Amino acid sequence: MEKKRSRSGFTLIELMTVVIIVGILAIVAIPLYKTHLNKARASEGAALLGTVLTAERVYFSEKGTYTDDPDELGVSTEGNRFFVDYTITSAGDTGFTAETSGIGVAEGITVEMTHSTTTGTADLEYTFP
């Protein structure tokens, strides 16, 4: 009587199936991961513009208008990694619009804030590459 050898392990078909499944998951997961990274990086820009909003409100309470000169606000970007500068594209008696753009790995990400005293809201708009 001859004993059968017990073969353990995976067949080539089983290994190929696993490789295909992992590949499909990677195709789906990598773009989602990049989107989440961009949103996380953009949050630094939103925080910077939130500081600009606070400084503009203080300026408005003292002068009765908003300023388009960042030097008058004294907002520091020290410590920021991706959003190190901002511009105030328009300002007046009823509101202002400020914008910041990312650098380095956040290049192409733009965050814009529009604040209006008539509605009392500050709206953020994000642009991703």
Beta bridge partners of 100: 111
Distances (CA, A) of 118 to 12, 58, 110, 115: 68, 17, 25, 9
**Looking at the predicted structure, is the pLDDT value of residue 126 above 80?**
yes
Where does the pLDDT of residue 4 fall: very low under 50, low under 70, confident under 90, or very high at 90 and above?
low
Q: Is 89 helix (H, G, I), strand (E, B) or coil?
A: strand
Q: How confident is the model at residue 3 (pLDDT cuts 50, 70, 90)?
A: low
What pLDDT band is residue 74 in, cutting at 50, 70 and 90?
Answer: very high
Is the Cβ–Cβ distance between 42 and 108 less than 8 Å?
Answer: no
| pLDDT value of residue 67 | 96
End-to-end CA distance of the chain: 70
Q: Which domains does the chain have, with CATH numbers?
A: 13-127 (3.30.700)
The answer to whether the predicted template modeling score (pTM) of the entire model surpasses 0.75 is yes
The mean pLDDT of the chain is 93
Question: pLDDT tens digit string along 10-58?
Answer: 899 999 999 999 999 999 999 999 999 999 999 999 999 999 999 999 9
